[in-house]
A = this chain, B = another copy of it.
Amino acid sequence: MGEPETQGIDGTPADAPEHGIYGEDGVIAAPFLAHIGAAIADRDTLALKEDVGSLHTSEVGDLLEALIPEQRRALVQLMGEEFDFTALTEVDEAIRLDIVGSLPNAQIAKALQHLESDDAVYILEDLEQADQDEILSRLPFTERVRLRRSLGYPEETAGRRMQTEFVAVPPFWTVGQTIDYMRDEQNLPESFSQIFVIDPTFRLVGAVDLDRILRTKRAVKIEDVMRETRHAIPATMDQEEAAKIFEQYDLLSAAVVDENERLVGVLTIDDVVDVITQEAEEDLMRMGGVGDEELSDSVLAAGRSRVPWLMVNLVTAFLAASVISLFDGTIEQIVALAILMPIVAGMGGNAGSQTMTVTVRALATRDLDIYNAGRIIRREMAVGILNGVIFATLIGLVAGIWFQDVNIGGIIAAAMIINMFVAALAGILIPLLLDRLGADPAVASAVFLTTVTDVVGFFAFLGLATWWFGLL
C-alpha cells in the first residue's frame, strides 16, 4: 500500500540512527516507544506531530502495532489532521477497525480525501455498509464516484486493488506537448512510472514508459513511441491471477480496464507485492490447518478457525483406531506391536507430507503440469522405495535388537517399505487429484494423506504380524 517510491530509503530497519525507531532486531526500539508513550500520556501534541509526522507511513504502522489499544486511539486523535491514514493500510485488520471505529465518520471522510484511491478503498472495504455510505456521502462527487466504482468490484479483484489516479493522453499529442502538460498540470498522481494513451471514448490504445518519453525528441508523436497494450488487466480479474501476470512479465504497473476496454485505473507493483506475500502466507496457513486467521484475532476467533481442521483429523484418528482394534487379539499376545506401531504410521506420515509439500508448492507455482507430472510421479515413487528401504533396514534392526526378536524386526521392516511407498504415492496423487477436481490442494491434502498413512501403516504392520505369527 502507499505510493511507490523510487528512491533510497529514509531510515531502514537495519540502520536508521537519524530517528532510531527500530532496534537491531528490526522491531520498534523500546526507547522510542517509551518516548512516544510518554508524549501520548502528556497529550504533547507538538512532540507527536514532530516525531510521528516525520516517519514513513509503514513505520507509523509498526508503531501503532507496538502500542496498546488505548495509546493507538489517543495517538490518532491527538495528531488530528496531521495523522496520515495511509498508515492504517499497514496494520492488522482488527487494529485498523478498532482505530477507525473510534473516529467520527466526518473525520474519516476528511482524511480519506488526502489518500490515494486504492488506500482509501482498502480502509473503506472493511467498514459497516452504513458507515461506508455515510463517509462516501461526505466526499466530493468525483472522488465518491471513483471509490464507489472500485468498491463495486468483488473483493480480491484487480478493480478493488487498482488506483484510479493516472495520467492519460491522446495518441496524436507530441512528446513535447505531453511533457509541457505534466509540467503545468497540478493534480497528477503522487507518483507514476508510465502514462496511458486513450481514445476520445476513454478506450485504452497504448502506454508509454516515462524513460521512453525522456529519450524521445519533443516533436515525436506519442502514438509513435507507445507500446500497444493488447491485454490490459480486466477489473474483475482475481488479484492472485493479476499478480501472476506481473510476476511473469516483470511489470511495474498495468492498466486496468472495464468490460468495455475502457481505462478505469492502474494496478501497481507495490500493491501486487502485498498480494504475493499475502497469498504465500495463506498457502502456508492452509497447509498448517489454520484459516485466514490474524495475529490480532481473539481467543474465540482463533479457536473457531481451528476447530474444523481438528474435527476432520478426529474422524481420521478414529478411523485409524478402528483399524488397530481389528487386531486387538494380536496386540494382547504381542505388546511389542502396540509399542512399535506408531513408528510405522508416523514415519509414513512424515515421508508423505514431504512429497505433499513439494507437490502442493509446485502446483501453486504452476511448475507441475501435465508435461512433467508423469516423470514426477515416477520420481516420487522411486524416492519412496529408496527411503523406504533405508529406514526399513534401520528400524528393522533397532526393533529386532530391542525386542530380541528377528520376526518383529522383519515384520516392521516390511511394513515400513509398504507404508513409505504408499505414502509417496498418496503424497503426490492426492494433491494432483484435488487440483483436478478444482479443490485447493493446500487445504485438504494433509487430512487425506494422514488417513492413508495411518490406516495403511497400522494395517500393514499389525496385519503382517497377525499372519506371520499365525494368529488369524
Contact = CB atoms under 8 A, between A and B. Distances in A.
A320 B313 CA distance: 20
- Across the A-B interface, give the 9 residue pairs with the lowest CB-CB distance, nearest first: A8-B229, A288-B357, A280-B280, A338-B338, A210-B210, A250-B270, A6-B194, A27-B369, A317-B343
A38 interface: no
A413 interface: no
Interface string A374-390: 00100110110011001
B350 A310 contact: yes
A45 interface: no
Interface stretch (A107-115, A120-128, A136-144, A252-260): A252-260
Contact of A9 (B11, B13, B231, B313): B231
A2 interface: yes
Interface in A161-203: 179, 182-183, 188, 191-194
A214 interface: yes
Interface residues of A, number: 151
Interface string A1-44: 11111111111111110100000011110000100000000000
A245 B65 CA distance: 18
A41 to B, nearest CB: 17
Contact of A387 (B1, B210, B270, B310): B310
Contacts of A405: none
Contact of A284 (B248, B250, B287): B287
A81 interface: no
Contacts of A188: 211, 215
A343 B361 contact: no
Interface string A214-253: 1111000000000111111100010001001111111111
A191 B179 contact: no
A261 to B, nearest CB: 11
A354 B340 CA distance: 26
Interface in A255-297: 255, 269-270, 272-274, 276-277, 280-281, 283-285, 287-290, 293, 295
Contact of A285 (B7, B15, B33, B358): B358
Contacts of A328: 335-336, 338-339
Contacts of A439: none
A386 to B, nearest CB: 5
Contact of A280 (B277, B342, B391): B277
Contact of A8 (B33, B66, B207, B336): B207
A49 interface: no
A465 interface: no
B339 A6 contact: no
Given A193-B210, A314-B394, 6 more contacts: A2-B250, A4-B250, A250-B273, A252-B252, A287-B357, A328-B335
Contacts of A204: 8
A251 B6 contact: yes
A15 B231 contact: yes
A130 interface: no
Contacts of A354: 288-290, 306, 309-310
B249 A5 contact: yes
A400 B28 CA distance: 52
Given A211-B210, A230-B18, A386-B299, A5 B284 contact: no
A299 to B, nearest CB: 4
A84 interface: no
